Amino acid sequence: MRIDRRHPKIDTAAFNDVASFLADNAGNITSVKGVADSMRQTKRGISPTTVGEYIAAMRENYLLFRANRYDIKGKAYLQAMEKYYLGDPGFRFWFLGKTSGDLGHRIENVVYLELLRRHRTVHIGKVGSTEVDFYTPDPESDHYYQVSLTVMDEKTLARELHPLQSIDDNHPKTLLTMDRIG
């Protein structure tokens, strides 16, 4: 990526390392400090401040989107531990040189982008100790989404439905899966 044209002070090798890490961890709960700690373990010492600047540059250039966490019961935004999604699922191949990996997270990334297109605002929902993959606030009707590659196993189905069933309101709740029924 030629992001250094818009941000000439960026160390492109360090930037690419951070971008590759985030591409490989798209859809996982992440913190700036956690990324910096991971970079330090691999060989490249990058400060949390620099990681934050790189993430800001990626977001500014639509390489990356951030989904903030929202406490559904407490009706409040949570300050830490957000998720990042790639602006295009093809960026995973661009940064990592591979298309394989956690298919569930790749599907979650595509769903996030579609929800962002439809609703403009998409959050990660926190319900007690569980998490709803996506919460889309809307003046007319909020909506909750769980995304799973498959729910054919009863334990997986129960795990995916539990957060939705924990929400004590009458807004729509949807479980999206790649399973074919019928």
Domain extent at residue 108: 3-177
* Residue 87 located in a structural domain: yes
Give the pair of three-digit tokens for residue 71. Answer: 């406490």
* Residue 146 located in a structural domain: yes
What predicted TM-score, i.e. pTM, was given to this entire model?
0.88
* Residue 30 located in a structural domain: yes
Q: What is the mean pLDDT for each group of 10 consecutive residues in the chain (182 residues)?
A: 68 89 91 89 83 93 92 76 90 79 86 94 90 91 94 95 93 94 76
* Residue 138 located in a structural domain: yes
* Residue 65 located in a structural domain: yes
* Residue 182 located in a structural domain: no
Collapsing DSSP to helix, strand or coil, 128 comes out as: coil
Q: Which residues neighbour 100 within 8 Å (Cβ) at sequence distance 6 or greater?
A: none
Residues found in the chain = 182
* Residue 112 located in a structural domain: yes
Q: How many domains are contained in the chain?
A: 1
Check residue 72 and give its pLDDT. 83
The DSSP-derived string for 57-97 is: HHHHTTSEEEEEEEETTTTEEEEEEEEEEESSTTHHHHHHS
Query: What CATH code is carried by the domain that includes residue 77?
Result: 1.10.10.10
* Residue 16 located in a structural domain: yes
Give the pair of three-digit tokens for residue 156. Answer: 């997986």
